[in-house]
Structure 1
Amino acid sequence: MNNIRQFSSKEDIQEQACLWISRLDRGLNSDEKVALDVWLSESNAHRQALLDAASLWDDMSVLNELSGLFPQPTSRQRTKKGSMPKTAVWGIAATFLVMAIAVGVVVQRTWLNTPPELAAVSQKVQTGVGEQKNVTLADGSKLHLNTNSIVTVDFSSTGRNIVLLKGEAHFEVAHDKSRPFSVTAGNNTVTAVGTAFNMQYVDDNAFELVVTDGKVLVKDRFKASSNESLFTKRPVAEEGLLMFAGEKATVQGKVEARESMTQNDIDDDLAWQQGMIVFKGEPLEAVLAEIGRYTPVRFNVSDESLRKRRVAGYFKVGDIEGLLSALKNSFNIDYEKVTETSIELKIAKS
C-alpha cells in the first residue's frame, strides 16, 4: 500500500473548488455528493476554498444544493461542554455560504445600479424582416433599428462601441466626452459625441451615412488614430474625415459621393422610422429592391424597359397590396401573383 500523500498547491485547491461549484450549479449525482463530502473532510483549506468560490458564483441553486448536503443541526446533536458535532460545523459552513453569496449578490447588484455611464454592458439587438425596434441603451442613447438588421453593443467605463453587422440603424447619441461613441461597419468607424446619424449597408463593406445632428468623424478602422481631432480644430486629414449635420455620403474605406441635404431630404431618408418609404423617381428595380427589405415577397420583372421606369410616391412599409395598387393606377404597371411570395410585374395592356 502506498501511504505517501501528495499535497495540493493553493492553485490546485482553488481550481478544484471552482470545479465543485460548477458541478453544484448543474446538480450533483449520488456519487459526486459522496466525493464532495470526502474532499471537504480532507482539509480546512478545501472548505475555505469552496466558500470563497461560492461567494463569486451568483446562483442560488448552489446554495440550495449545499443546504441539502449539510443541513442545520438540531439541539439534540450538540455534545457535552459546548462542543458541536461535524453536522453542526457543516451547518455553520452553510450559514457562512449564505452570507458569502448574499454579499456577492449585493456587490454585483450595487455595481449594476451605478449610473449608466459607468456600467459595462454587452448586448445584441436584431430585427427580422419587416420588424423595427426602438431601444434606449444603457447610457441614454437611443437606437432605432430598421428591418432585418443586427447590432452588437459593448459599453465600458472608457468607451461605447457598437458594431453594425447588418441592415440599417439610426443613433441618437447621449453626450459623454469621456466615452466616445463609435459605430463600426465594414472597414470604417463613425465616432460621435452628442450627435445623431443614420447608417445603412448598401454593399458588403459599404454603407450610406447621413448625419442628422452634430458632427461625426469617419475613419478607417485599420489605421491607428486618436480621438483628439474630434474635439479640436486641428486638421484631421491623417485621422479621418469630419462630416456635419445635413451631410450624406457613401463610405467604403473612403468617403465618397458626399452631398448636402435639406431637412426635407433628411426626413424622407428617415421616413422608415414612421413606417413609410419615400421614392423620388428611382428606377422600378431600385424601388423593388428597397421594398424587398421589408417583406419576404419577391418581384420578377422580365421587361427590361419596365425595370428602368421611374417611380415616385409614399408607400407604407409592408403594404404590398397598396404598392401594387399604386403601381397599376399611377404607373401603368400590372401584376400577377404567381405564389404567395412571388409576384410578376408587367406593362399594363391598353
Structure 2
Amino acid sequence: MPAEVQTRTAADDQAASWIARLGTRTIALATIQEFAKWREDPANAEAYRRAEQLWSRTGELADDPDIQAALAQAQGRRPRRFSVKQIATGSLTTALAASLAAGAFFWQIRDTYATEVGEQRSLQLADGSRVRLDTASKIRVRFTDGERRIELAEGQAFFEVAHNPARPFVVMTTNASVTAVGTVFEVRRVGSETRVVLVSGAVDVAQAATPSAPQRLLPNQQTAIKAGKAKVSAVNADTATSWTTGELTFVDTPLAEAVAEVNRYLAAPIILDAPAAANTPINGVFRSGDRTAFVSAAAHLFNLKAIREADGKVRLVSSRNNAQG
C-alpha cells in the first residue's frame, strides 16, 4: 500500500469530502452548521487547512496521489488516476482543470453562490475571507494569484476580508467597485443603486461610469451610488448590518420602506394599502422572516387591519377605511 494512503487520517478524508460538499452551487444552512461544528475540533480544522493547501497546488493537482485517494474515497470511487478531462466534470475543480489545460500554474477559483427568498448563507472563501449572503442574493467569485474579485449580481452580501495586500479584494456591481484589505463591510444592490456600508477598516469605492478617483470610506459611513452620483453619509453600522444576525432594525424608518425591507424575506409579502401611514416612522427590531410579529406591531401602532388574502399575502389597510367599507 502506498505510504500516502497509510499515513492518511479519518480527518483528512472528511476534509476532502467537505471541500467537495462546500464547492457545490447551493448549500443548505444545515450543512454549513454541520461543517462549523465539525471544524471546531482542532484536528479537523488542521486537516481542512491541509486539504485547502493541497487544492491550491494547481500545478501538481492532476498527479498528486494523496488528492486522488481523497477524492476517490469522498466520492465513493476506487482510487484511480484522473485525467484533466475527468477532473473537469467535478463541481469543485472546473476552474482548476481549465487552468491546467491552459498551462497556467496559479490558483484560480470561479464559482457562483446564491440564496433563495428568505434564505441566508455563510461562506468561507479559499483565502480565509468570509461572506454572508442575504436573502435573494447572488455572487460570482473569481480568484487569481494577483486579485480576489467578487461580483455581486443580486441582493446583499457582508464581507470579512482576510488581510493580504498583495491580492486586492474587490467587490464589483454594475456601477461601482469596492476595494478593501483586511476590512469588514457590506454591499447591496437596490435596483440601479449600489450601497456600501463600512463596519471596520477602510474601503475605496469607485464609480464604474466616471473616471474620478476612488472615495475612501471610514467606519460607520455609507455611500449610495446611482446615476453617476455618490452620496456619503453617517450610519450606525451595527444597525445597518443587523440582518447578519437575523434581525431587521428600524430607526425612524418610514412604514412603507420597512414593509419593503420585511418583504425581501417573505415568499408571501405584505401589501401596505394605507397611504396615510406610508411615511409614518416605525421603530423596532424584528426577526427577519417573521411576518406575523411585524404585521401585528404595525397594525397596533398605526391602527391598521390585517387582511389575509387567498394567495397567502397579507394586506394592511386603515381600520377606519375598512369599517366604512
Are 1:211 and 2:198 counterparts?
yes
Q: In the alignment, which residue of structure 2 is the partner of 1:81?
A: none
Q: Structure 1 stretch 303-312 or stretch 132-141: which is displaced more?
A: 303-312
Measure, in 1, the Cα distance between the counterparts of 2:287 and 2:81. 58
Contact 1:173–1:194, Cα closer than 8 Å, also in 2? yes
Are 1:133 and 2:133 counterparts?
no
Measure, in 1, the Cα distance between the counterparts of 2:291 and 2:214. 42
Q: Structure 1 stretch 327-336 or stretch 159-168: which is displaced more?
A: 327-336
Q: In the alignment, which residue of structure 2 is the partner of 1:84?
A: none
Unpaired runs of at least 5, structure 2: 1-61, 69-79, 88-92, 97-105
Q: In the alignment, which residue of structure 2 is the partner of 1:244?
A: 218
Are 1:178 and 2:149 counterparts?
no
Which amino acid in the other structure matches residue 211 of structure 1?
Answer: L
Measure, in 2, the Cα distance between the counterparts of 1:256 and 1:223. 11
TM-score, normalised to structure 2, is: 0.64
Give the 3 Å change call, closer, same or farther, for CA 179–339 of structure 1 in structure 2. same
Measure, in 2, the Cα distance between the counterparts of 1:171 and 1:328. 36
Measure, in 1, the Cα distance between the counterparts of 2:139 and 2:169. 14
Measure, in 1, the Cα distance between the counterparts of 2:136 and 2:176. 21
Give the 3 Å change call, closer, same or farther, for CA 159–222 of structure 1 in structure 2. farther
Q: Structure 1 residue aligned with 2:189, among 201, 204, 218?
A: 201
Percent identity of equivalent pairs: 27
Moved over 6 A (4+): none
Which amino acid in the other structure matches residue 160 of structure 1?
Answer: R
Contact 2:253–2:282, Cα closer than 8 Å, also in 1? yes
Q: In the alignment, which residue of structure 1 is the partner of 2:319?
A: 348
Name the larger-Rg structure. 1
Which amino acid in the other structure matches residue 294 of structure 2?
Answer: L
Q: Structure 2 residue aligned with 1:270, among 241, 255, 258?
A: 241
Q: In the alignment, which residue of structure 1 is the partner of 2:102?
A: none
Secondary structure in structure 2 of the residue aligned to 1:251: strand
Measure, in 1, the Cα distance between the counterparts of 2:217 and 2:254. 29
Measure, in 2, the Cα distance between the counterparts of 1:266 and 1:272. 11
Measure, in 2, the Cα distance between the counterparts of 1:254 and 1:189. 13
Q: In the alignment, which residue of structure 1 is the partner of 2:108?
A: 120
Which amino acid in the other structure matches residue 234 of structure 2?
Answer: S
Measure, in 2, the Cα distance between the counterparts of 1:100 and 1:322. 54
Measure, in 2, the Cα distance between the counterparts of 1:310 and 1:223. 36
Aligned residue runs from structure 1 range 90-129, under 5 A: 101=83, 119-129=107-117
Secondary structure in structure 2 of the residue aligned to 1:144: strand
Q: Give CA deviations for 1:175-232 in whole Å, capped at 9, x if unaligned.
A: 111110001012211111111111111222x1111011111111133667xxxxxxxx
Which amino acid in the other structure matches residue 176 of structure 1?
Answer: N
TM-score, normalised to structure 1, is: 0.60
Are 1:327 and 2:314 counterparts?
no
Which amino acid in the other structure matches residue 168 of structure 2?
Answer: P
Contact 2:199–2:238, Cα closer than 8 Å, also in 1? no
Which amino acid in the other structure matches residue 247 of structure 1?
Answer: Q
Contact 2:159–2:185, Cα closer than 8 Å, also in 1? yes
Unpaired runs of at least 5, structure 1: 1-54, 61-97, 113-117, 225-237
**Aligned-residue RMSD, C-alpha:** 2.9
Q: Structure 1 stretch 246-255 or stretch 135-144: which is displaced more?
A: 246-255
